[in-house]
Amino acid sequence: MRTQPFPARPANARTGTRWAGLAGGIALVALAALLGVAVGAKPLPLDVVWHALFRFDDSYDANLVWDQRIPRTLLGVFVGAALGLSGSLMQAITRNPLADPGLLGINAGASVAVVIAISVLGVTTLVGYVWFALVGAAVAGVVTYALGTSGPGRATPVRLALSGTVVGAVLTGVITAFTTMDVKSWQVMRFWTLGSLVNRGYDIVWQVLPFLVLGAVIGLSVTGSLNAMALGDHLGRALGARPARTRILTAAAVVLLCGGATAAAGPIGFVGLAVPHAVRAVAGPDHRWVAPYSMIAAALLLVSSDVLGRIVLPTGELEVGVVTAVVGAPVFVHLIRRKRLAAL
Q: Is 332 exposed, middle or buried (0-12, 13-18, 19+ CB in 10 A)?
A: middle
- Taking only the tens of pLDDT, the chain with its 344 residues reads 444 443 444 566 677 788 888 999 999 999 999 999 998 888 888 888 888 888 877 788 888 889 999 999 999 999 999 999 999 998 888 877 777 777 778 888 888 888 888 888 888 777 777 788 888 988 988 888 788 777 666 666 677 778 888 898 899 888 888 878 877 777 777 767 778 898 888 988 998 999 999 999 999 999 998 888 877 777 777 777 788 888 889 988 988 898 889 888 888 888 888 899 889 888 888 999 999 999 999 999 999 999 999 888 877 788 898 898 888 777 767 766 765 544 43
Any domain includes 31 = no
Q: What does the alpha-carbon distance between residue 294 and residue 299 come to, in Å, rounded to a whole number? A: 8
Any domain includes 45 = no
Any domain includes 49 = no
Any domain includes 197 = yes
Say what the pLDDT of residue 79 is: 95
Dihedral in degrees, nearest 10, Cα atoms 228, 247, 172, 323: -50
Any domain includes 23 = no
Q: Where are the alpha helices (DSSP H) in the chain?
A: 9-38, 46-54, 60-64, 70-94, 106-119, 126-149, 157-181, 183-192, 202-221, 223-229, 233-238, 243-265, 271-283, 287-311, 320-343
Say what the pLDDT of residue 154 is: 60
What size, in residues, is the chain?
Answer: 344
CATH number, domain containing residue 266: 1.10.3470.10
CA-based max dimension of the chain? 81
Q: What does the alpha-carbon distance between residue 25 and residue 117 come to, in Å, rounded to a whole number? A: 38
Structural domain that includes position 252: 73-343
Give pTM, 2 decimals: 0.87
How many independent structural domains does the chain possess?
Answer: 1
Any domain includes 266 = yes
Q: What does the alpha-carbon distance between residue 118 and residue 85 come to, in Å, rounded to a whole number? A: 30
